[in-house]
Amino acid sequence: MTDPIQLDAAATTPLDARVLEAMLPWFTERAANASTRSGPGARARAALEEARERVARACGARASGVVFTSGATEANNLALLGAARARAKHGRRVLVGSSEHACVRECALALGREGFVVDWLALDTGGLCDLERAAELLREDTVLVAQMLVHNESGAVHPVRELARLVRSRAPRAHLHVDAVQALGKLELSLLSLGADSLALSAHKLHGPQGAGALVLSGERPLAPITFGGGQERGLRPGTENLAAIVGFGLAAELAERERPRFSAAAERWRADFLAGLAALGGWRVLEPQVRVPAILGLVAPEPASEIRRNHLEARGILTGAGSACQATKANLSPSLAALGLDEASIRRFLRLSLSRESVACDPGVVVEALRAVDTELARPARSAR
Protein backbone atom coordinates (compact mmCIF):
# COMPACT_ATOMS: atom_id res chain seq x y z
CA MET A 1 0.00 0.00 0.00
CA THR A 2 1.34 3.47 -0.86
CA ASP A 3 1.81 6.04 1.89
CA PRO A 4 -1.14 8.40 2.35
CA ILE A 5 -0.83 11.98 1.10
CA GLN A 6 -0.69 14.02 4.29
CA LEU A 7 -2.49 17.32 3.70
CA ASP A 8 -2.97 18.28 7.34
CA ALA A 9 0.40 19.87 8.04
CA ALA A 10 -1.16 22.70 10.04
CA ALA A 11 -2.06 20.03 12.63
CA THR A 12 1.39 18.46 12.66
CA THR A 13 4.27 17.70 10.30
CA PRO A 14 6.41 14.59 9.87
CA LEU A 15 9.71 14.67 11.75
CA ASP A 16 12.59 15.59 9.42
CA ALA A 17 15.14 12.75 9.30
CA ARG A 18 17.99 15.22 9.94
CA VAL A 19 16.19 16.45 13.06
CA LEU A 20 15.69 12.93 14.36
CA GLU A 21 19.37 12.15 13.80
CA ALA A 22 20.42 15.28 15.71
CA MET A 23 18.12 14.35 18.60
CA LEU A 24 19.05 10.69 19.07
CA PRO A 25 22.35 11.07 21.02
CA TRP A 26 20.60 13.30 23.55
CA PHE A 27 18.31 10.39 24.45
CA THR A 28 21.23 7.99 24.85
CA GLU A 29 24.97 8.60 25.27
CA ARG A 30 24.67 12.39 25.71
CA ALA A 31 21.57 12.41 27.93
CA ALA A 32 22.14 14.72 30.91
CA ASN A 33 20.48 17.39 32.97
CA ALA A 34 21.47 20.78 31.60
CA SER A 35 21.30 22.26 35.11
CA THR A 36 23.99 20.02 36.62
CA ARG A 37 27.58 21.20 36.74
CA SER A 38 29.17 17.92 35.59
CA GLY A 39 30.92 17.51 32.22
CA PRO A 40 27.83 15.88 30.64
CA GLY A 41 25.66 18.59 32.20
CA ALA A 42 27.86 21.30 30.71
CA ARG A 43 27.69 19.61 27.31
CA ALA A 44 23.89 19.48 27.59
CA ARG A 45 23.82 23.17 28.57
CA ALA A 46 25.93 24.05 25.50
CA ALA A 47 23.52 22.12 23.25
CA LEU A 48 20.56 23.90 24.84
CA GLU A 49 22.18 27.30 24.27
CA GLU A 50 23.00 26.42 20.67
CA ALA A 51 19.34 25.50 20.10
CA ARG A 52 18.35 28.83 21.68
CA GLU A 53 20.60 30.70 19.23
CA ARG A 54 19.13 28.77 16.30
CA VAL A 55 15.51 29.46 17.28
CA ALA A 56 16.31 33.15 17.85
CA ARG A 57 17.99 33.48 14.44
CA ALA A 58 15.04 31.82 12.72
CA CYS A 59 12.55 34.33 14.14
CA GLY A 60 14.64 37.51 14.21
CA ALA A 61 15.01 37.70 17.97
CA ARG A 62 17.74 37.69 20.59
CA ALA A 63 18.77 34.35 22.07
CA SER A 64 18.33 35.78 25.56
CA GLY A 65 14.61 36.20 24.79
CA VAL A 66 13.92 32.54 24.01
CA VAL A 67 12.07 30.65 26.77
CA PHE A 68 11.67 26.98 25.90
CA THR A 69 8.29 25.44 26.66
CA SER A 70 6.48 22.21 25.86
CA GLY A 71 4.84 23.77 22.81
CA ALA A 72 2.77 26.71 21.70
CA THR A 73 -0.18 26.05 24.00
CA GLU A 74 2.09 26.54 27.00
CA ALA A 75 3.87 29.51 25.38
CA ASN A 76 0.54 31.22 24.69
CA ASN A 77 -0.65 30.56 28.25
CA LEU A 78 2.56 32.00 29.67
CA ALA A 79 2.33 35.06 27.44
CA LEU A 80 -1.31 35.90 28.05
CA LEU A 81 -1.62 35.05 31.73
CA GLY A 82 1.93 36.19 32.54
CA ALA A 83 1.68 39.53 30.75
CA ALA A 84 -1.82 40.44 31.92
CA ARG A 85 -1.07 39.57 35.55
CA ALA A 86 2.27 41.42 35.52
CA ARG A 87 0.60 44.54 34.15
CA ALA A 88 -2.67 44.47 36.10
CA LYS A 89 -1.58 47.50 38.13
CA HIS A 90 -1.78 49.59 34.92
CA GLY A 91 -5.24 48.42 33.86
CA ARG A 92 -7.45 45.38 33.39
CA ARG A 93 -8.41 45.48 29.71
CA VAL A 94 -7.21 42.98 27.15
CA LEU A 95 -7.77 42.88 23.38
CA VAL A 96 -7.74 39.46 21.71
CA GLY A 97 -8.23 38.41 18.08
CA SER A 98 -11.62 36.81 17.56
CA SER A 99 -10.28 33.98 15.39
CA GLU A 100 -7.40 32.96 17.67
CA HIS A 101 -6.55 29.35 18.41
CA ALA A 102 -8.43 27.81 21.35
CA CYS A 103 -5.36 28.01 23.60
CA VAL A 104 -5.35 31.81 23.25
CA ARG A 105 -9.09 32.22 23.38
CA GLU A 106 -9.41 30.05 26.49
CA CYS A 107 -6.68 32.09 28.23
CA ALA A 108 -8.60 35.26 27.44
CA LEU A 109 -11.74 33.72 28.92
CA ALA A 110 -9.75 32.72 32.02
CA LEU A 111 -8.52 36.31 32.34
CA GLY A 112 -12.14 37.40 32.11
CA ARG A 113 -12.92 35.18 35.10
CA GLU A 114 -10.03 36.87 36.97
CA GLY A 115 -11.68 40.26 36.48
CA PHE A 116 -10.06 41.48 33.25
CA VAL A 117 -12.37 42.96 30.63
CA VAL A 118 -11.87 41.18 27.29
CA ASP A 119 -12.46 43.01 24.01
CA TRP A 120 -12.54 40.77 20.92
CA LEU A 121 -10.96 42.09 17.75
CA ALA A 122 -13.09 41.14 14.73
CA LEU A 123 -11.90 40.49 11.19
CA ASP A 124 -12.53 42.89 8.33
CA THR A 125 -14.17 41.92 5.06
CA GLY A 126 -10.79 40.78 3.70
CA GLY A 127 -10.48 38.20 6.49
CA LEU A 128 -7.73 40.15 8.29
CA CYS A 129 -7.80 41.66 11.77
CA ASP A 130 -9.70 44.92 11.61
CA LEU A 131 -7.25 47.74 12.29
CA GLU A 132 -9.91 50.45 12.37
CA ARG A 133 -11.77 48.51 15.04
CA ALA A 134 -8.49 47.97 16.91
CA ALA A 135 -7.90 51.72 16.93
CA GLU A 136 -11.33 52.18 18.51
CA LEU A 137 -10.86 49.46 21.11
CA LEU A 138 -7.29 50.20 22.26
CA ARG A 139 -7.19 52.34 25.41
CA GLU A 140 -4.71 53.65 27.96
CA ASP A 141 -5.70 50.82 30.32
CA THR A 142 -5.33 48.02 27.73
CA VAL A 143 -2.49 45.91 29.14
CA LEU A 144 -2.43 42.98 26.73
CA VAL A 145 -3.10 42.50 23.02
CA ALA A 146 -2.99 39.03 21.42
CA GLN A 147 -3.24 38.61 17.68
CA MET A 148 -1.90 35.68 15.68
CA LEU A 149 0.21 36.26 12.57
CA VAL A 150 -0.83 33.42 10.21
CA HIS A 151 -4.25 31.91 10.66
CA ASN A 152 -4.27 28.14 11.04
CA GLU A 153 -7.54 27.63 9.16
CA SER A 154 -7.59 30.30 6.44
CA GLY A 155 -3.87 31.00 5.94
CA ALA A 156 -4.58 34.75 6.44
CA VAL A 157 -1.53 36.86 7.24
CA HIS A 158 -2.71 39.46 9.71
CA PRO A 159 -1.25 43.00 9.65
CA VAL A 160 0.58 42.62 12.95
CA ARG A 161 3.23 45.26 12.22
CA GLU A 162 0.50 47.88 11.67
CA LEU A 163 -1.32 46.64 14.76
CA ALA A 164 1.91 47.05 16.76
CA ARG A 165 2.12 50.71 15.71
CA LEU A 166 -1.44 51.28 16.89
CA VAL A 167 -0.77 49.51 20.17
CA ARG A 168 2.32 51.65 20.84
CA SER A 169 0.46 54.88 20.19
CA ARG A 170 -2.88 54.10 21.84
CA ALA A 171 -2.07 51.59 24.56
CA PRO A 172 1.60 52.22 25.41
CA ARG A 173 1.51 49.95 28.45
CA ALA A 174 0.17 46.93 26.60
CA HIS A 175 2.15 43.77 25.92
CA LEU A 176 1.61 42.67 22.31
CA HIS A 177 1.74 38.90 21.94
CA VAL A 178 1.74 37.12 18.59
CA ASP A 179 0.97 33.45 18.05
CA ALA A 180 3.41 32.77 15.20
CA VAL A 181 3.00 28.99 15.16
CA GLN A 182 1.90 28.86 11.52
CA ALA A 183 4.23 31.65 10.40
CA LEU A 184 7.75 30.28 10.93
CA GLY A 185 8.85 28.51 7.75
CA LYS A 186 6.01 30.06 5.75
CA LEU A 187 7.01 33.74 5.75
CA GLU A 188 9.94 35.87 6.82
CA LEU A 189 9.55 36.24 10.56
CA SER A 190 11.23 38.85 12.73
CA LEU A 191 10.06 39.57 16.24
CA LEU A 192 12.11 42.73 16.36
CA SER A 193 10.83 44.17 13.10
CA LEU A 194 7.23 43.19 13.86
CA GLY A 195 7.47 45.41 16.92
CA ALA A 196 5.75 42.83 19.15
CA ASP A 197 6.72 41.90 22.70
CA SER A 198 6.50 38.14 22.25
CA LEU A 199 5.96 35.27 19.83
CA ALA A 200 4.77 31.70 20.40
CA LEU A 201 6.37 28.89 18.35
CA SER A 202 5.92 25.14 18.17
CA ALA A 203 8.47 22.59 16.88
CA HIS A 204 6.04 19.98 15.58
CA LYS A 205 4.60 22.39 13.03
CA LEU A 206 8.05 22.69 11.42
CA HIS A 207 9.08 19.05 10.98
CA GLY A 208 10.43 19.08 14.53
CA PRO A 209 9.38 16.92 17.49
CA GLN A 210 6.18 17.20 19.52
CA GLY A 211 6.79 18.45 23.06
CA ALA A 212 8.98 21.49 22.33
CA GLY A 213 8.14 25.10 21.63
CA ALA A 214 9.08 28.56 22.79
CA LEU A 215 7.86 31.86 24.01
CA VAL A 216 10.24 34.37 22.43
CA LEU A 217 10.40 37.71 24.20
CA SER A 218 11.76 40.97 22.85
CA GLY A 219 12.93 41.60 26.37
CA GLU A 220 11.37 44.87 27.33
CA ARG A 221 8.38 43.90 29.43
CA PRO A 222 8.44 41.54 32.41
CA LEU A 223 6.06 38.57 32.74
CA ALA A 224 4.65 37.01 35.89
CA PRO A 225 5.53 33.28 35.97
CA ILE A 226 2.56 30.93 35.85
CA THR A 227 4.43 27.84 37.14
CA PHE A 228 6.87 27.70 40.04
CA GLY A 229 9.95 25.63 40.81
CA GLY A 230 13.63 25.90 39.86
CA GLY A 231 15.19 28.78 38.00
CA GLN A 232 15.28 27.22 34.53
CA GLU A 233 14.39 29.38 31.54
CA ARG A 234 14.79 32.67 33.46
CA GLY A 235 12.40 31.31 36.09
CA LEU A 236 9.57 31.61 33.57
CA ARG A 237 9.43 27.92 32.75
CA PRO A 238 10.87 26.02 35.70
CA GLY A 239 11.49 22.28 35.32
CA THR A 240 14.17 20.16 33.67
CA GLU A 241 14.36 21.05 29.99
CA ASN A 242 13.26 18.52 27.36
CA LEU A 243 16.80 18.47 25.98
CA ALA A 244 16.53 16.11 22.97
CA ALA A 245 13.32 17.77 21.78
CA ILE A 246 14.82 21.24 22.20
CA VAL A 247 17.92 20.23 20.21
CA GLY A 248 15.54 18.97 17.52
CA PHE A 249 13.53 22.19 17.67
CA GLY A 250 16.68 24.28 17.15
CA LEU A 251 17.63 22.41 14.00
CA ALA A 252 14.00 22.27 12.77
CA ALA A 253 13.67 26.07 13.12
CA GLU A 254 16.93 26.62 11.24
CA LEU A 255 15.89 24.26 8.44
CA ALA A 256 12.39 25.80 8.22
CA GLU A 257 13.88 29.24 7.68
CA ARG A 258 16.60 28.03 5.29
CA GLU A 259 14.15 26.03 3.16
CA ARG A 260 11.37 28.62 3.32
CA PRO A 261 11.87 30.31 -0.08
CA ARG A 262 11.84 26.97 -1.93
CA PHE A 263 8.88 25.69 0.09
CA SER A 264 6.85 28.88 -0.40
CA ALA A 265 7.42 28.86 -4.16
CA ALA A 266 6.45 25.19 -4.39
CA ALA A 267 3.36 25.76 -2.23
CA GLU A 268 2.29 28.71 -4.41
CA ARG A 269 2.54 26.52 -7.54
CA TRP A 270 0.72 23.66 -5.82
CA ARG A 271 -2.11 25.95 -4.73
CA ALA A 272 -2.55 27.49 -8.19
CA ASP A 273 -2.66 24.08 -9.90
CA PHE A 274 -5.00 22.68 -7.26
CA LEU A 275 -7.41 25.62 -7.44
CA ALA A 276 -7.47 25.46 -11.25
CA GLY A 277 -8.54 21.81 -10.96
CA LEU A 278 -10.99 22.47 -8.14
CA ALA A 279 -12.77 25.19 -10.15
CA ALA A 280 -13.93 22.51 -12.58
CA LEU A 281 -15.64 20.47 -9.82
CA GLY A 282 -18.30 23.01 -8.86
CA GLY A 283 -19.94 23.45 -5.48
CA TRP A 284 -16.70 24.26 -3.60
CA ARG A 285 -15.95 27.59 -1.97
CA VAL A 286 -12.40 28.76 -1.31
CA LEU A 287 -11.52 31.07 1.58
CA GLU A 288 -9.35 33.76 0.04
CA PRO A 289 -8.09 36.18 2.68
CA GLN A 290 -6.71 39.40 1.24
CA VAL A 291 -3.17 38.48 2.32
CA ARG A 292 -2.32 34.82 2.83
CA VAL A 293 0.35 32.15 2.82
CA PRO A 294 -0.05 29.52 0.11
CA ALA A 295 0.43 26.47 2.34
CA ILE A 296 -2.91 26.66 4.20
CA LEU A 297 -6.08 26.46 2.18
CA GLY A 298 -9.53 26.70 3.79
CA LEU A 299 -12.40 25.24 1.75
CA VAL A 300 -16.12 24.86 2.18
CA ALA A 301 -17.15 21.61 0.51
CA PRO A 302 -20.56 20.69 -0.88
CA GLU A 303 -22.90 18.66 1.36
CA PRO A 304 -22.58 16.47 3.44
CA ALA A 305 -20.59 17.38 6.56
CA SER A 306 -16.81 17.40 6.06
CA GLU A 307 -16.29 14.55 8.54
CA ILE A 308 -17.96 12.14 6.10
CA ARG A 309 -16.01 13.56 3.15
CA ARG A 310 -12.75 13.33 5.08
CA ASN A 311 -13.38 9.64 5.82
CA HIS A 312 -14.00 8.98 2.13
CA LEU A 313 -10.85 10.88 1.21
CA GLU A 314 -8.86 8.98 3.81
CA ALA A 315 -10.05 5.70 2.28
CA ARG A 316 -8.48 7.00 -0.94
CA GLY A 317 -5.21 7.81 0.83
CA ILE A 318 -5.69 11.58 1.23
CA LEU A 319 -5.53 12.94 4.77
CA THR A 320 -7.17 16.33 5.25
CA GLY A 321 -8.08 18.53 8.21
CA ALA A 322 -11.33 19.87 9.55
CA GLY A 323 -9.73 22.93 11.12
CA SER A 324 -7.98 23.23 14.43
CA ALA A 325 -7.02 19.71 15.54
CA CYS A 326 -7.43 20.64 19.20
CA GLN A 327 -11.09 21.44 18.59
CA ALA A 328 -11.95 18.60 16.26
CA THR A 329 -13.34 16.52 19.11
CA LYS A 330 -15.31 19.30 20.75
CA ALA A 331 -19.04 19.13 20.25
CA ASN A 332 -19.30 22.87 19.72
CA LEU A 333 -18.43 24.38 16.36
CA SER A 334 -15.16 26.21 15.95
CA PRO A 335 -15.61 29.83 17.12
CA SER A 336 -12.60 30.79 15.03
CA LEU A 337 -14.34 29.57 11.86
CA ALA A 338 -17.39 31.58 12.86
CA ALA A 339 -15.09 34.59 13.26
CA LEU A 340 -13.94 34.02 9.67
CA GLY A 341 -17.55 34.70 8.67
CA LEU A 342 -18.73 31.12 8.10
CA ASP A 343 -22.29 30.24 9.05
CA GLU A 344 -23.07 27.00 10.90
CA ALA A 345 -23.77 24.99 7.74
CA SER A 346 -20.47 26.12 6.17
CA ILE A 347 -18.51 25.34 9.35
CA ARG A 348 -19.84 21.77 9.21
CA ARG A 349 -18.60 21.49 5.64
CA PHE A 350 -15.23 23.15 6.28
CA LEU A 351 -12.18 21.26 5.03
CA ARG A 352 -8.58 22.36 5.40
CA LEU A 353 -5.72 21.38 3.14
CA SER A 354 -2.30 22.31 4.49
CA LEU A 355 1.07 21.52 3.00
CA SER A 356 4.38 20.53 4.52
CA ARG A 357 7.81 20.38 2.85
CA GLU A 358 7.04 16.72 2.24
CA SER A 359 3.45 16.85 0.95
CA VAL A 360 4.08 19.85 -1.31
CA ALA A 361 5.76 17.35 -3.63
CA CYS A 362 2.50 15.48 -4.23
CA ASP A 363 0.58 15.94 -7.45
CA PRO A 364 -2.33 18.39 -6.93
CA GLY A 365 -4.08 16.72 -9.87
CA VAL A 366 -4.25 13.46 -7.88
CA VAL A 367 -5.90 15.33 -4.98
CA VAL A 368 -8.42 16.99 -7.30
CA GLU A 369 -9.26 13.62 -8.85
CA ALA A 370 -9.82 12.13 -5.39
CA LEU A 371 -12.11 15.03 -4.49
CA ARG A 372 -14.00 14.53 -7.75
CA ALA A 373 -14.42 10.81 -7.10
CA VAL A 374 -15.63 11.45 -3.53
CA ASP A 375 -18.03 14.17 -4.74
CA THR A 376 -19.53 11.63 -7.12
CA GLU A 377 -19.71 8.93 -4.44
CA LEU A 378 -21.42 11.26 -1.97
CA ALA A 379 -23.82 12.71 -4.51
CA ARG A 380 -25.13 9.22 -5.41
CA PRO A 381 -28.53 8.67 -3.76
CA ALA A 382 -28.27 6.21 -0.88
CA ARG A 383 -29.42 2.71 -1.93
CA SER A 384 -32.82 1.99 -0.43
CA ALA A 385 -32.89 -0.76 2.15
CA ARG A 386 -34.26 -4.07 0.83
Q: Which active-site residues does the annotation give? A: 326
Q: How far is the CB of 246 from ligand PLP (least distance, A)?
A: 13
Q: How far is the CB of 9 from ligand PLP (least distance, A)?
A: 10
Which of 7, 148, 176, 322 binds ligand PLP (CB under 6 A)? It is 148
Which of 22, 59, 72, 156 binds ligand PLP (CB under 6 A)? It is 72
Q: How far is the CB of 384 from ligand PLP (least distance, A)?
A: 42
Which of 94, 103, 134, 163 binds ligand PLP (CB under 6 A)? It is 103
Regarding 324 and contact with ligand PLP (CB under 6 A), the answer is yes
Regarding 198 and contact with ligand PLP (CB under 6 A), the answer is no
C-alpha span between 356 and 149 (Å, rounded): 18
By CB atoms closer than 10 A (0-12, 13-18, 19+), residue 233 is: buried
Exposure class string for 76-86: b at 16+ Cβ within 10 A, else e: bbbbbbbbbbb
DSSP codes, 113-176: HTTPEEEEE-B-TTSSB-HHHHHHH--TTEEEEE--SB-TTT-BB--HHHHHHHHHHH-TT-EE
Please choose, out of 46-54, 255-263, 303-311, 324-332, the segment that lies near ligand PLP by the rule CB under 6 A: 324-332
Beta-carbon contacts of residue 308 (< 8 Å; ≥ 6 apart)? 378
Regarding 202 and contact with ligand PLP (CB under 6 A), the answer is yes
Regarding 298 and contact with ligand PLP (CB under 6 A), the answer is no
Q: Considering beta carbons, is residue 87 or 352 the nearer one to ligand PLP?
A: 352
Q: How many residues bind ligand PLP, per CB under 6 A?
A: 16
Which of 213, 248, 250, 298 binds ligand PLP (CB under 6 A)? It is 213
C-alpha span between 126 and 44 (Å, rounded): 47
Q: How many Cβ atoms are within 10 Å of 372's Cβ, its own excluded?
A: 15
Regarding 260 and contact with ligand PLP (CB under 6 A), the answer is no
C-alpha span between 377 and 347 (Å, rounded): 21
Regarding 325 and contact with ligand PLP (CB under 6 A), the answer is yes
Beta-carbon contacts of residue 220 (< 8 Å; ≥ 6 apart)? 197
Regarding 73 and contact with ligand PLP (CB under 6 A), the answer is yes
HSE, CB side, 13 Å, CA atoms: give it for residue 142. Answer: 27
C-alpha span between 170 and 111 (Å, rounded): 21
Which of 16, 119, 130, 179 binds ligand PLP (CB under 6 A)? It is 179
Which of 6, 52, 56, 71 binds ligand PLP (CB under 6 A)? It is 71
Q: How far is the CB of 150 from ligand PLP (least distance, A)?
A: 8
Dihedral angle over CA of 119, 124, 128, 132, nearest 10: -60
Q: Considering beta carbons, is residue 297 or 371 the nearer one to ligand PLP?
A: 297
Beta bridge partners of 69: 213
Residue number of the CB closest to ligand PLP reads 71
Bridging pattern class, strands 285-286 and 296-300? antiparallel
Q: How far is the CB of 295 from ligand PLP (least distance, A)?
A: 12
Q: How far is the CB of 102 from ligand PLP (least distance, A)?
A: 8
Q: How far is the CB of 268 from ligand PLP (least distance, A)?
A: 21
Q: Where on the chain is the footprint of ligand PLP (CB under 6 A)?
A: 10, 71-73, 101, 103, 148, 152, 179, 181-182, 202, 213, 324-326
